[in-house]
C-alpha cells in the first residue's frame, strides 16, 4: 500500500505501542464481560455490536461500561482463546479500561482529531504508531 492512500490523524497513545488492524465501530459503550470468548463476539442483548466479533479488531467506541472486575475476565478469556482485540480507540478514559489495557497489553488511544469520526468506516484499515493514527479506507 502506498502511504499516500492513508488519512492521517493526531491522537494520544495512552499506553504506547504500535498496532495495525481492521476497525469495528460503535456509538455505544462496551462491557467486555459480555463477549463470548470462543468467538470473540459481543453477546450483550440489544447492543449495536451484538453478534459482531472484536477478535483482532481495532475497536472504535466511546468508552467502556460495567463493574470493576468482570471486564478483565472477559478480555482474559478472549485472549486465552486467541480472540483478544488489537487496540481500543476511545473518547473517554476510565480507570478500569486503562488498567485492563495495561494488564492485557492492548494498546489504548484517545483524543483522536475530530475529523477521524467523520471518515472512519467499519472495515477500514487502521494503523497506530506513537501519537499518530492512520486510516486506509476500505471503499476508496
Hey, which residues are catalytic here?
A: 67
Close Cβ partners of 39 (under 8 Å, ≥ 6 residues apart): 53, 55, 83
Residues that bind another protein (CB under 8 A): 14-15, 29, 33-34, 43, 45, 63-77, 80, 92-96, 98-100, 102-103, 108
| Smallest distance, another protein to C-beta of residue 28, A | 10
Residue 71 DSSP SS3? helix
Closer of 7 and 79 to another protein (Cβ) = 79
Distance CA 104, CA 80 (A): 11
Radius of gyration of the chain (CA): 14
Closer of 93 and 134 to another protein (Cβ) = 93
| Smallest distance, another protein to C-beta of residue 92, A | 6
Amino acid at each position: 500500500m502506498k502511504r499516500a492512500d492513508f488519512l492521517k490523524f493526531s491522537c494520544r497513545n495512552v499506553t504506547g505501542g504500535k498496532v495495525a488492524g481492521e476497525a469495528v465501530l460503535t456509538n455505544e459503550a462496551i462491557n467486555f464481560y459480555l463477549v463470548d470468548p470462543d468467538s470473540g463476539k459481543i453477546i450483550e442483548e440489544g447492543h449495536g455490536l451484538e453478534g459482531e466479533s472484536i477478535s483482532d479488531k481495532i475497536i472504535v467506541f466511546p468508552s467502556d461500561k460495567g463493574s470493576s472486575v468482570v471486564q478483565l475476565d472477559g478480555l482474559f478469556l478472549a485472549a486465552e482463546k486467541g480472540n483478544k482485540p488489537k487496540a481500543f480507540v476511545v473518547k473517554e478514559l476510565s480507570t478500569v479500561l486503562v488498567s485492563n489495557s495495561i494488564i492485557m497489553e492492548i494498546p489504548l488511544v484517545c483524543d483522536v482529531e475530530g475529523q477521524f469520526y467523520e471518515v472512519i468506516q467499519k472495515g477500514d484499515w487502521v494503523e497506530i504508531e506513537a501519537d499518530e493514527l492512520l486510516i486506509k479506507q476500505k471503499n476508496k
